[in-house]
Structure 1
């Protein structure tokens, strides 16, 4: 062996030894952090004994004899499985990511400091009901007891980032609820972007892209019966970092009465569409306080069941898509301390924020606010000098943009869900909804008595003068909010004649409703399919509901495909690949299956049609902002195609005037070329699942080599944003699936259980067997059963942890 070879061999051997040692040490370190799922734990915080059963799927069933102990145990158990996720969520909401990640997250921290979620949470704490304080205190004590007894056994993420979690507080719980509200807000995108489009293209072109909702498309309530630039960029960075970059960010829910159920009892289904992540967004749990069984999903860091059922009722949620935010162009005086309002100058509220930045020291900046809310127009102007952090509010031409958002109002969602969790009937349920403010949700309902219902719950602003789509003048009160829709006038229905209710982020109520709610609806395709199926036969079973939750049919594709085919009628097609692509569409059944080829062709056409229609007018940067949240652009594109709007289809960069059908043909050919470059010339290999894949990504898995350790996948999947089985992808980064059913749930009131599934598993600990225990089941369209009775879930695989009071 040569000297060089010996050296190489020796170095290789050393590297292998080091790698093996690292793996062994890491394995031991990670296993050390796994929580104890059985045995006894004593604590001074308990009144009585609590039994925590972990079923064979790792889902906790908590049996307590009083509410205090129940919520303490819920906090403890959630921390066992999801402590680092909880810590990350509160850091995002409070603007403290840079303490652990450094300057790369400073823009996100400045965004959330400016939004003022922490300030809102602190104010909210002072106005909570006594019951909410009790629940939050017990839950926080449970979290802190886990932290305090596991200082040397913290999840591996804390070790890798070299920090320890702070004590958990009531404010932290409230912060997470407001973070969820912000994630489900869409007006942050719409009004700034549409205002910029208006300034770019002028009034005539702008009018034709104002989103419409087809008159014949489904609404939730058939007829209303009155009862007796910078800010956007920072938000984009936040949503890109946490996977919120796809179309179809919404949910499905539907319920049928016992008259349409094979069992004679109501059936209810719900699947919220949110970014895929690790750990999963939801935490499955079953609670028993000695009187009520409550099962479903909670949000780690907050007490109570958000979606689920108890012994009497079941409920599901979908996003209202409420226009809950307005932006105002403010006039600031030369001193930068006052703003003009109704002819008078008022002092700006000034709040100094200090962000600790890992490796950089402190970053200080001022947040200015009007009576409406914070000024957000300077949200990401910051810089560091060599030694001294520096930041000041900056305004252009003495103007700034302020924001009013319902999420900065004081409300008590903890009490709302407490009342919902313990409701016995429709009246109790509505009592809980009265305390629910943000984010506005479509609540569907069913109960053991055979009733079904729907309520649009949340704070819905009433505007003095409606200007929903662009920024408002701030120097007058003409566009201020003048109140909120009274609770008893918010859309609702109880036991409708149709014997079913369906919601899919579609328009809520017809044109006779006296108040404005939104224009931010999702494409009507999912709502059409659900309504189509629910009217297709007389009786439904749990299996029918499972099949519908997994449905890949797209009404949007069906309608759009006909325009593609018609655009080629009578036109000689010389490109054999284009001709074959058209033939695939002619034979298509509009199901977005993972082995389908026409699906790949259609979606490739869609992204090129979008670009060829809008980018020439908007320019590259504004186009990217326009399609970032693609639910609205997808609606607008179909609207323009149906209306044959030549203003937008003409390419302004050419001397000729292009027609709609010319742009369709060009986009289709571009899409075919794109797939050839991506997948080769064998069209049999153009399977949708080959390019449309799901990867479950942990925040630390965003960078190599941790992606190999923390992430799961990729997995081939079907669907897209317009199918009931939603599998959204970004128009800017096709075709990876980054969004879809974050949970699937079905309730059959003839059974004392809950059907539930999440994409990963209950645990956030990477070496736990429950880290990805539901992934395969989820991908195969399966469900777990969460039983109420101990004898139904207790077997040789069940673990039991006893929490005991001291003494």
Structure 2
């Protein structure tokens, strides 16, 4: 018995040692926020003060030293994110995740981002000051890689750390540029055009007044499987372990509209939810430069930023900077394609992809002068090609990459004129650049390399590549891009809505409906023409009213025969008729609205397709609002009921019945409990959190979440199998800059500043975020130094 007791004590001791050792190991992975650390490449001591939320305030004698320190602290909080971002654009994710990301790597390799950036880098002057500052930043990143603790994700995946290069920075920017692009919808549109009778497609493809449609060159889908192309692109993007950018809001108010007589600035870019969140905040101060910025992982210059003079932010322009073309094969030589009156050679590119647990995978793709062929991978040059090739033309890789220089210049501008002069260097992705300054200027520019197409040629379909007649006629000079500077209404705004016409045409693209977020902003400005405060801006950023939702529901319910309803249904309908269109946690109308819309969409459109799978593949392009406004639309008739022709009112009544039964079955008969917080939730997903046993350690949440898709507090979602709504896209930050009190401007991140799960700042803003709260963006040096929780001093390495 004593031997057994002694054995148990020894076993317990070993267990305690293992736990203690594990604790010490995990603690060793925590970012260093205090003390002293030697740093190569700096010319003088650099002080870094971390505020309550882990945001570094970096004080240095010069910008090069500040960027070296930034690189180090950025890496210690976000190295895993940096690693993923540089790998995504260069097709190297499978080395970490295995075969699950193989198609993703193939797709991004075929875009040619890596070679494009190599060519651009080779043409740059190695003494270029922008490159030199970028290298200073990378010195800090690489010193952390060499001497800092290895993030836990590297241990879990078995990945070795490796130094960063300038090309990695450029690849990261290029990847984020592609996620702005929604051009793959062209493929779905083309397939719909061939799949459905014109009585159906006419309503779907209405366009802007001077962007009228001609029926495009169309290939029989038996030769080219367009659904497969779209699914291939979607599959590549779905398996990305880093977030895509979806949309954004911004509005900037001139002094005439504000209570203080100073400019107020708001920006909240909408990005797929993820952990860590996209932006890393940092405040850099030198004797001749100060900037409070929001940085992408591995990028030395902020995309969103402000100082005491000016502020800028971004939203997605949503212009169509990707076009697809049918290419014509030579009848006997499959290595040739036709362009105008000549036969050109396809270019064949071979790549090797390192795939975890598989080894090297050889991959070959071919390309035309426009870009890669996207509907097939070709293993060798002798393969018999039966499909009509479809090439993808992406503007980003067609022109010189000056993105880093553009970001540098707009962050170093000292006036609105200098700021505007930097913008032509950002040719893609298309951005709405929002601006406000201490002198009272407000402005918006659409930055992109815009182009003019032949009359009546729509870019929203696959175009004719062989004739050359669907190629752009000209690329416009930046002076012809849309813009709005100090307008008479005293504010500018952007919510991914269609810009006004410019250069005699509308910008082609995939824009958000103007009557939702954009309309809500305009309504708010009209309702309160004067006297705006910082709190008013914060309230509008958190707004959860879906504009036109209540009117839509009233129209739908008018088709319901009240005499056929029971007492409970009548009482609930009365509440729905009084619903204000808001999506708060206890919203009584939000659940019914979203379920009703889903069911109505299915009732209208699904019967025209051979299967539900086929219907869902077209879902985003089947616009409910266009059909809803036309009660004579052919879509109202259910083609599976050949003996009757359904009317709008009949479909609406049937949809009510379906929705009522669905909600009753899921949530019970007490309609008081059919509230938004029961169905709509936000969970910030970490790539490692896809492993169920690790989910609770890496993911943040879930939290019940307010808002819905296209409210200003944009909380887009996908429907899970159990009928609940998982939020997929969110405001990636909410920033409000007050030029009357710049040191008390406010912001919030969705989770926390650090991407390191061991950091105390991994999720310390998460509950504040879902509650619609803000925190200060500190700029006052005395306040920062007096109140910072931690101080890290970088000293010159001997």
What TM-score do the two structures reach when normalised by structure 1?
Answer: 0.90
Cα deviation for residue 597 of structure 1 reads 1.7
1:34 pairs with 2:30: yes
Choose which of 190, 198, 201 in structure 2 pairs with 1:203. 198
Deviates more, 1:421-430 or 1:119-128: 119-128
| Aligned 8 A contact 2:519 2:547 in 1 | yes
Aligned to 1:653: 640
| Aligned 8 A contact 1:40 1:803 in 2 | yes
| Aligned 8 A contact 1:90 1:176 in 2 | yes
| Aligned 8 A contact 1:68 1:135 in 2 | yes
Deviates more, 1:32-41 or 1:498-507: 32-41
| Aligned 8 A contact 1:378 1:394 in 2 | no
Distance 1:448 1:554, change over 3 A: same
**How many equivalent pairs are there?**
763
Deviations 1:131-176 (Å, cap 9, x if unpaired)?
33112212222111110112xx200000000111221011111111
Deviations 1:427-450 (Å, cap 9, x if unpaired)?
011011121111111111111111
Cα deviation for residue 43 of structure 1 reads 2.9
Cα deviation for residue 592 of structure 1 reads 1.0
Choose which of 12, 28, 43 in structure 2 pairs with 1:47. 43
Report SS of the residue matched to 1:593: coil
Distance 1:728 1:49, change over 3 A: same
Aligned to 1:306: 303
Report SS of the residue matched to 1:445: strand
Deviations 1:269-308 (Å, cap 9, x if unpaired)?
0011111110011111111232121113111111111112
Aligned to 1:9: none
1:760 pairs with 2:751: yes
Cα deviation for residue 454 of structure 1 reads 1.1
Choose which of 54, 77, 84 in structure 1 pairs with 2:80. 84
| Aligned 8 A contact 2:85 2:242 in 1 | no
Alignment partners' CA distance in 2, 1:522 and 1:243: 26
Distance 1:651 1:132, change over 3 A: farther
Alignment partners' CA distance in 1, 2:595 and 2:18: 44
Report SS of the residue matched to 1:795: helix
Deviations 1:622-669 (Å, cap 9, x if unpaired)?
322323xx4x54xx2111101225211222222122222222222232
Choose which of 161, 165, 168 in structure 2 pairs with 1:169. 165
Matches within 5 A, 1:325-724: 325-333=322-330, 334-378=332-376, 397-409=386-398, 410-465=400-455, 466-510=457-501, 514-524=504-514, 525-537=516-528, 538-568=530-560, 570=561, 572-574=563-565, 578-618=569-609, 619-627=611-619, 630=620, 633=622, 636-655=623-642, 656-724=644-712
Structure 2: unaligned runs, 5 residues or longer: 1-7, 211-226
Aligned to 2:715: 727
Distance 1:394 1:550, change over 3 A: farther
1:324 pairs with 2:313: no
Aligned to 1:219: none
Aligned to 1:386: none
Alignment partners' CA distance in 2, 1:437 and 1:646: 41
Alignment partners' CA distance in 1, 2:603 and 2:426: 43
Distance 1:244 1:678, change over 3 A: farther
Cα deviation for residue 476 of structure 1 reads 1.2
Aligned to 2:100: 104
Cα deviation for residue 125 of structure 1 reads 1.9
Cα deviation for residue 417 of structure 1 reads 1.3
Report SS of the residue matched to 1:304: coil
Structure 1: unaligned runs, 5 residues or longer: 1-11, 216-228, 382-389
Aligned to 2:220: none
Cα deviation for residue 699 of structure 1 reads 0.7
Cα deviation for residue 703 of structure 1 reads 2.1
Alignment partners' CA distance in 1, 2:382 and 2:707: 45
Cα deviation for residue 752 of structure 1 reads 2.8
| Aligned 8 A contact 1:213 1:507 in 2 | no
Deviations 1:702-750 (Å, cap 9, x if unpaired)?
1210112111111011111121111111267651112111100000111
| Aligned 8 A contact 1:462 1:481 in 2 | yes
| Aligned 8 A contact 2:301 2:411 in 1 | yes
